[in-house]
Amino acid sequence: MSDRGVDLRSYVSAEDVRARGRALRERVPVTARDRAAAAANRPGVLDFLAASNTGRLAHLVPLRMGRMVSSPFTFYRGAAGLMAADLAAGPDSGLTAQLCGDAHAANFGLYGTPRGEIVMDINDFDETIPGPWEWDLERLAASLVLAGRENGAAEDDCLRAARDAATSYRETVAQLAELPFMQAWTMLADESVLATAKAEDLLDDFKKAAKKARKNTSAKVVAKWTEHLEDHQTGISKHRFVSDPPILTPVEDKVTDAVIGGLERYVGTLRESRRHLLTRFAVSDIAFRIVGTGSVGLHTYIALLHGNEGESLVLQIKQANPSALVPYLPAQPRRHEGERIVQGARHVQSETDILLGWTSLDPGSGELPFIVRQFRNLKGSIDVAGLGADDLDDYGRLAGALLARAHSRSLDPRLLAGYLGDDERFDDAVAAFAVRYADQTEADHAALVAGVDAGMIATEVED
């Protein structure tokens, strides 16, 4: 890149790009990934949690803590920032990719393309940011060990799943580096990824998840979560959300107005061809809905819109906090946090939600940034914590391949392939670190449990 924009005048051969990657091994050998889990200057667990709860809705913090205390794996899912503190002290090859930022195994899922096809990819970008590609892979590998332990898998099986994820990542990078650029860009989207990643044993799981995903539509949400209303003056048939506390609750009229105003502004962030589509709908109802683990305590709403002849559309409006990785990476240009997430997703995913955009609104405590997307639009997942030991390594290979493709959109795979080569010691090093980090996470979770038992942290358990 130059000051005037993209340089389309210079060409660098594949061998020259690979050579640059190989040269990096002298400074940071691939075996350097095998290291201590915890950084010397990492924050204390309770201090980290207190900081991560700052700015959240206070009455929901105990629910977040209740979810995180349930198991080491769920703790891990809410502690991306704590791991970032540890990863920042580790070796860095110097190659930067657009990170998912929270690439644990449960953040890979199925969703629908604009044409209704079911694909599998990374599906959570709250923490997305440019950073060392290694961070995503090591977070994935450690999560596989934790998920396996939660399901009672033997240690050898957990280790193999982490190692297979690293192997699959490395081999997929090598494969992408050999392909024509246009072909590599669109690779690994649909069911065929299972064969490419040597994860055929997951075919039945994929098909079951895809079948369920096809039923996850706005119409299903309306049938399950709303009641019917008939406006006799206009003759328009509408629906309203039915309260189901604490997960789904009504909002005050002023919040409804603020969210609708935010949605009206959000339309301008969509790609031009899709803006007119949204203007054909009108909002019927707004509700507050709690989601996830890391997002509990943030402002998150769902909007019910009605369209053509009884058609319904459900959108999610989710508060966008700064990435938890920010304190451990070089300063980034200031931008709207919702825009950061949307642009990160567009940068990484093979297919993005056609209604993905961002906005700002004031829910009553000052203006905040949000992302907007379709809610449960053909979404599904394979429950990694529910997989048997024989399938855990297949899932590791699948997720490793998908992560490699995601990184290859922002990091030239020829450069990364040059660095990794065919050195299996890289796979061993990542796996060894993953096991060590899973042990560290179990110790961190135990510290949370001790804090709860000592009355230092309040928790709330869902019914």
d(CA 46, CA 374): 35
pLDDT at site 9: 93
236 confidence band (pLDDT: 50, 70, 90)? low
d(CA 183, CA 191): 17
238 confidence band (pLDDT: 50, 70, 90)? confident
Measure CA 296 to chain center. Answer: 15
Determine the average pLDDT of the residues in 255-273.
96
Q: Is 240 in a helix, a strand, or coil?
A: strand
186 confidence band (pLDDT: 50, 70, 90)? confident
- End-to-end Cα distance, the chain: 54
Is 456 in contact with 50 (CB distance < 8 Å)?
no
Determine the average pLDDT of the residues in 20-32.
97
- Domain ranges in the chain are 14-213+384-453, 217-322+333-374
Tens-digit pLDDT profile for residues 391-423: 999 999 999 999 999 999 999 999 999 999 999
pLDDT at site 424: 98
Q: What is the DSSP letter of 88?
A: T
78 confidence band (pLDDT: 50, 70, 90)? very high
For residue 381, count CB atoms less than 10 angstroms from its CB and return exposed for 0-12, middle for 13-18, buried for 19 or more: middle
**312-319 β-sheet, strand order:** 248-250, 282-289, 300-306, 312-319, 368-374, 357-361
Alpha helices in 179-202 (DSSP H): 181-185, 193-196
Determine the average pLDDT of the residues in 319-324.
97
Count of beta carbons in the 10 Å neighbourhood of residue 179:
14
Q: Is it the case that residue 169 has pLDDT exceeding 60?
A: yes
Is 40 in contact with 437 (CB distance < 8 Å)?
no
CA quadruple 217, 223, 224, 227: dihedral sign:
positive
- Which residue's entry shows tokens 């609708």? 260
Closest CA to 241 of 282, 318, 307, 301: 301
Query: Whole-model pTM?
Result: 0.95
pLDDT at site 340: 98
Backbone dihedral angles phi then psi of residue 63, each to the nearest 5 degrees: -70, -40
The residue length of the chain stands at 463
- 302-307, Cβ contacts within 8 angstroms, sequence gap of 24 or more: 302/241, 302/248, 302/375, 303/259, 303/260, 303/263, 304/222, 304/226, 304/239, 304/240, 304/241, 305/281, 306/236, 306/237, 306/238, 306/239, 306/281, 306/282, 307/280, 307/281
- Which residue's entry shows tokens 């609750």? 249
pLDDT at site 297: 95
CA distances from residue 139 to 145, 162, 166 in whole angstroms, order as listed: 10, 10, 11
pLDDT at site 188: 66
pLDDT at site 114: 82
229 confidence band (pLDDT: 50, 70, 90)? confident
pLDDT at site 200: 87
Beta bridge partners of residue 285, listed in sequence order: 304
Determine which of 81-90, 97-106, 346-355 has the lowest per-residue pLDDT on average.
Answer: 346-355
Q: Structure tokens of 359?
A: 């906005």
Backbone dihedral angles phi then psi of residue 120, each to the nearest 5 degrees: -120, 135
Q: Is it the case that residue 334 has pLDDT exceeding 70?
A: yes
Determine the average pLDDT of the residues in 357-376.
96
d(CA 235, CA 281): 16
d(CA 309, CA 384): 40
Count of beta carbons in the 10 Å neighbourhood of residue 283:
17
Phi-psi region of 364 (alpha: psi -120 to 50; beta: other; left: phi over 0): left
For residue 194, count CB atoms less than 10 angstroms from its CB and return exposed for 0-12, middle for 13-18, buried for 19 or more: buried
pLDDT at site 231: 67
Pick the more confident residue, 195 or 288.
Answer: 288
Determine which of 2-6, 38-42, 67-71, 297-301 has the lowest per-residue pLDDT on average.
Answer: 2-6
pLDDT at site 3: 52
The CA R_g of the chain, rounded to the nearest whole Å, is: 22
Tens-digit pLDDT profile for residues 112-152: 888 888 889 999 999 999 999 999 999 999 999 999 999 99
